[in-house]
Chains A and B, each alone.
Chain A
Amino acid sequence: MGKTIMIVEDEQAFHDLYTMMLEDTDYEIIRAYDGDEALAKLEEKKPDLIILDILLDLVTGDTFFLYIKGMPEYADIPVIVCSSFSEKAYKNLKEMDPKLVFLEKPFTKEQMIEQIQAKIG
């Protein structure tokens, strides 16, 4: 079994598309539909990468991001943020984690795979 990717995304269609996108790879995928679920699943297993939709309900994506970056045991997990907005809108997140990668919607499969590989190979 390869590395683990946690996808935090509130729309089912995106989960379906990510799954199809990554079905030829041997990444293990953990799905979470909101920030609360993601936090619960983090405790079960620490992923190697998190793909995060920033406009989440309940615990919003950016709150979730700030939370994991504040926790020593999770702070080192690389994060790819997918958002309808450009990187400029999230200056504060970038300041907190300079290695943070932004993918502005709509992005291509190639762009996503490229970023995942750059982070965890």
Chain B
Amino acid sequence: MRTMVMKQTSLEYRNPENAPDEFEAKMLTQFKTTSGIEPTWGEDVDKEGNKTIRYILPLYIKEDCLPCHGKPAYEGELDITGYEKEGYEIGELRGAISIAAPASHLDAIIKTNSLILLIIGVVTTISVIFLTYLLIRKFIRIPLSHTVAATKVIAKGDLTKRVDIKSGDEFGELAESFNTMAQSIEEKTRELEKTTHNLEIANEELRGLDKVKDNIIRDVSHELKSPLAQLRLALELWGEGIKDGKKDKDKEELFDGIIKDNINRLNKTIESILELTSLEFGREDYDKESLQLRDLVIQVIKSSTLLAREKGLTIKSVLPEKLPNVTVDKQGINRVVTNLVDNAIKYTDKGEILVSLQQKNSGLEFLVKDSGIGINIPQEHHYKLFDRFYQENVATPGTGIGLSICKTILEAHGGKIWVESDGKDKGTTFRFTLPIINEKESSVADS
């Protein structure tokens, strides 16, 4: 069968062309015995052996059918087509419309449809996979890779890295937790760095102390043994002269000078050591009183003028009146000012020395500026000048302990001292500050 065939069929056919085949007869019998069956699909094989698709639609008698198929008004009544009326009643099965179509055609359609379905399936699957990939990428991979990248950066040591994801989902939460963790690590690391730094400083200070100890031994040794050597030689040579009965007035004066100088030098060294030791251990009692620093400075300048005049130096002073009082230990601060002014004279051979006092913020600043030998060490080592026994120029008499004492006294008053110099032979400026404490604060501080 090459084409589709549609025909009417009935178990009680009137036209032999409408005689049912095997499939139709079976279905008609079913329709007849079981009422209410819907149109039915089926499969069959035609005479040539080809697979055939069948469709059969039952036809039940309705009102409209009765003029041809209803009860005859008389025996042998014919309908309009010339057949005898069979006497059917409404609802009875009259026959069926049967369609038979070659299955080969439908198979092809099924195959095509299957192929289309397959293609749609594959395309859909690929699309779903691709969409899923995009979604994963947007909502999982990118946030995750940001987090991983941030982790790597942090692992490499840059603790300031943060993840910028504000999605509000689990990744947002993860990013937030991650950032909190990173911040915590950063803070902890900072603290650790600070502690390490402090430890390094402490260590450095300890090493410094060790060095200070070595230097003290070296300087004390030098400051004691050098005068001793000069004393010994002077006495030996003097003694030789006496033994030989020679009398040389010039030499005797020289010996006398050397001996006196060196005894003074030894005495000064020993006093300085004792003084510094007592100061550093806080045994020195400060007797603080409110006074005009100007008066104290003028007093010091007066007593140093002679020394300056001997060296042909002039002392110029800029000391404004009506500066606030400072509450200090008179003796201690007097020692500081004297030491600084004497140093300026000692290390200057010509020119002038400027002494000034001025109010700066909540303190008084004292300055002594000379045109002397200057400081021949780099700025960053200037603090060493305040180390005990440090002496830049050992040729100049003195023990180098004076500045260390000044620093200790000033620090005990809440002040500080520093030095400035443009280098060798370019003069030196020492400055110190003392805080101005009003009477009220002073009494509170004392209590």
| A interacts with B | yes
Q: Which residues of B contact A20 (CB under 8 A)?
A: 237, 251, 254
Closest chain A CB from B227 CB (angstroms): 9
Q: How far is the CA of A20 from the CA of B224 in the complex (A)?
A: 23
With contact pairs A13-B262, A84-B222 given, residues A21 and B237 touching in the complex (Cβ less than 8 Å): yes
Of the four ranges (under 10, 10 to 19, 20 to 34, 35 or more), the interface on chain A belongs to 20 to 34
With contact pairs A17-B237, A108-B232, A109-B236 given, residues A33 and B221 touching in the complex (Cβ less than 8 Å): no
B117 within 8 A of A: no
B218 within 8 A of A: yes
A67 within 8 A of B: no
Q: How far is the CA of A118 from the CA of B231 in the complex (A)?
A: 25
**Contact, CB under 8 Å: B237 / A55:** no
**Contact, CB under 8 Å: B236 / A108:** yes
Closest chain A CB from B266 CB (angstroms): 12
**Contact, CB under 8 Å: A57 / B226:** no
A107 within 8 A of B: yes
Q: Which residues of A contact B230 (CB under 8 A)?
A: 11, 13-14, 17, 106
Q: How far is the CA of A106 from the CA of B235 in the complex (A)?
A: 12
Q: How far is the CA of A107 from the CA of B376 in the complex (A)?
A: 32
Of the four ranges (under 10, 10 to 19, 20 to 34, 35 or more), the interface on chain B belongs to 20 to 34
**Contact, CB under 8 Å: B236 / A105:** no
A16 within 8 A of B: yes
A107 (CB) vs chain B CBs: closest residue: B229
Q: Which residues of B contact A62 (CB under 8 A)?
A: none
Q: How far is the CA of A58 from the CA of B425 in the complex (A)?
A: 13
Q: Which residues of A contact B319 (CB under 8 A)?
A: none
Among B225, B226, B234, the residue within 8 A (CB) of A11 is B226
B233 (CB) vs chain A CBs: closest residue: A17
A87 within 8 A of B: no
Q: Which residues of B contact A13 (CB under 8 A)?
A: 230, 234, 258, 261-262
B241 (CB) vs chain A CBs: closest residue: A20
Q: How far is the CA of A82 from the CA of B225 in the complex (A)?
A: 11
Closest chain A CB from B213 CB (angstroms): 15
**Contact, CB under 8 Å: B237 / A106:** no
- Binary contact track A64-80/B, C-beta < 8 Å → 1, others 0: 00000000000000000
B118 within 8 A of A: no
A112 (CB) vs chain B CBs: closest residue: B233
- Binary contact track B231-252/A, C-beta < 8 Å → 1, others 0: 1111011001000000000010
Q: How far is the CA of A105 from the CA of B223 in the complex (A)?
A: 11
Among B226, B240, B395, the residue within 8 A (CB) of A105 is B226
B258 (CB) vs chain A CBs: closest residue: A13
Closest chain A CB from B418 CB (angstroms): 23
B228 within 8 A of A: yes
Q: Which residues of B contact A105 (CB under 8 A)?
A: 225-226, 228-229
Q: Which residues of A contact B237 (CB under 8 A)?
A: 17, 20-21, 109
**Contact, CB under 8 Å: A84 / B225:** yes
B264 within 8 A of A: no
Q: How far is the CA of A17 from the CA of B255 in the complex (A)?
A: 9
B236 (CB) vs chain A CBs: closest residue: A109
Q: Which residues of A contact B228 (CB under 8 A)?
A: 105-106
With contact pairs A10-B394, A13-B230, A13-B258 given, residues A55 and B222 touching in the complex (Cβ less than 8 Å): yes
**Contact, CB under 8 Å: B395 / A109:** no
A90 within 8 A of B: no
Q: How far is the CA of A117 from the CA of B82 in the complex (A)?
A: 175
**Contact, CB under 8 Å: A106 / B232:** yes
> In chain A, residues 1-47, which have Cβ atoms closer than 8 Å to a Cβ of chain B?
10-11, 13-14, 16-17, 20-21, 33-34
With contact pairs A85-B218, A106-B229 given, residues A55 and B394 touching in the complex (Cβ less than 8 Å): yes
B195 within 8 A of A: no
Besides A13-B234, A21-B233, 18 other CB < 8 A contacts?
Answer: A10-B395, A17-B230, A17-B258, A20-B237, A20-B251, A34-B395, A56-B394, A57-B392, A57-B393, A57-B394, A58-B376, A82-B229, A84-B221, A85-B218, A105-B228, A106-B230, A106-B233, A107-B233
Which B residues are within 8 Å of any A CB, using their own CB? 218, 221-222, 224-226, 228-234, 236-237, 240, 251, 254, 258, 261-262, 376, 392-395
In the complex, 6 of the A-B residue pairs with CB atoms within 8 angstroms, ordered by the A residue number, are A11-B230, A16-B254, A16-B258, A17-B234, A17-B258, A106-B230
Which A residues are within 8 Å of any B CB, using their own CB? 10-11, 13-14, 16-17, 20-21, 33-34, 55-58, 82, 84-85, 104-109
List of 10 A-B pairs having minimum Cβ-Cβ separation, nearest first: A105-B229, A106-B229, A84-B225, A106-B232, A10-B395, A84-B222, A105-B225, A106-B228, A17-B233, A84-B221
